[in-house]
Amino acid sequence: MAVFPSSSSALELTISMPGFASSSSVRDLDINQVPSIGAEEDWITMNIDDEEESSNGGPPRKKLRLTKEQSRLLEESFRQNHTLNPKQKEALAMQLKLRPRQVEVWFQNRRARSKLKQTEMECEYLKRWFGSLTEQNRRLQREVEELRAMKVGPPTVISPHSCEPLPASTLTMCPRCERVTTTNLEKGPSKTAITTTTTTTMSTKVTTSTLQSRQSPAAC
DNA sequence: GCGTCCTTAGTCCTTACCTCA
DNA sequence: ATTGAGGTAAGGACTAAGGAC
């Protein structure tokens, strides 16, 4: 079952869907993972003065590449806090030998890209779920057709309360909500045992057997 | 109401890496 | 095997808009 985070910026996302993606592919989507860079030792760290020129219409700015250690420290503090107060920003910038603005921008980008990744993962999850539900729906409709076609003796319905078979009833389908219902013929129309059993989907196993007051189709 | 500071969303641009002729 | 061009992903930086104070 997917556990959606309480906020979109939360990073501790765990998605596990029985019968779906393997654990390795889930791990591959770990948005906390520091992206692996092939030649990390070749990273270019630009000196601050070089960059300052670029914003004033000077020569084209060189691209700053954070060192492995700078990235590690930034990631670490991001894990602790997704936003920084001015003091924290200042301290971190000092520690990393970067300008506070750079730290600020890094955090902005990190938040934005975490959220993007999160959204992509949720989208993927929902797509799979949709596919699964579609398939489940197909199966259930087939099942209904089969049951209709059978038209054999009254089905046995187990009472959810007494756990004993209910008296003879007829199998009907609500034309509005398409739920299969069994109507107790002996005890009259006061109660309807609605029995819905679905198979395991994703990680959600739904098995309901409820007794409800009889409703007309219009009330579904 | 105005100014300041902060955030998010969107975008630009550079760099690194990969593929292929 | 090497090399250069082109494509692409990653990520640093910027801007605009909006909210809080």
Which nucleotide minimizes the distance between its C1' and the CA of A51?
C13
pLDDT of residue A40: 34
A214 assigned to some structural domain:
yes
A1 assigned to some structural domain:
no
Residue-range definition of the domain harbouring residue A84: 23-133
A116 assigned to some structural domain:
yes
CB atoms within 10 A of CB A9: 14
Are A171 and A182 a contacting pair, CB within 8 Å? yes
Task: Say how far apart CA A185 and CA A150 lie, in whole Å.
Answer: 19
A5 assigned to some structural domain:
no
pLDDT of residue A165: 55
pLDDT of residue A88: 84
Distance A52 CA to B17 C1' (A): 28
The torsion of the CA quartet A88, A90, A92, A93, rounded to 10 degrees, works out to 160
Question: Which residues put CB within 7 Å of chain C, the nucleic strand?
Answer: A 34-35, 37, 51, 54-55, 61, 63-66, 71, 101-102, 105-106, 108-109, 113
Pair (A54, A95) in one structural domain: yes
pLDDT of residue A105: 87
Q: Which residue has the tokens 């990393």?
A: A96
Task: Say how far apart CA A24 and CA A28 lie, in whole Å.
Answer: 6
Domains in chain A, number: 2
Pair (A106, A183) in one structural domain: no
Single residue among A133, A167, A202 that ends a domain in this structure: A133
Pair (A64, A165) in one structural domain: no
Single residue among A101, A133, A165 that ends a domain in this structure: A133
Q: Which nucleotides of B are covered by protein (CB under 7 A)?
A: 5-11, 13-18
Pair (A93, A161) in one structural domain: no
User: Which residue stretches of chain A have pLDDT < 50?
Assistant: 1-60, 168-171, 175-176, 178, 182-220
Pair (A28, A125) in one structural domain: yes
Residue A45: which of A74, A68, A27 has the closest Cα? A68
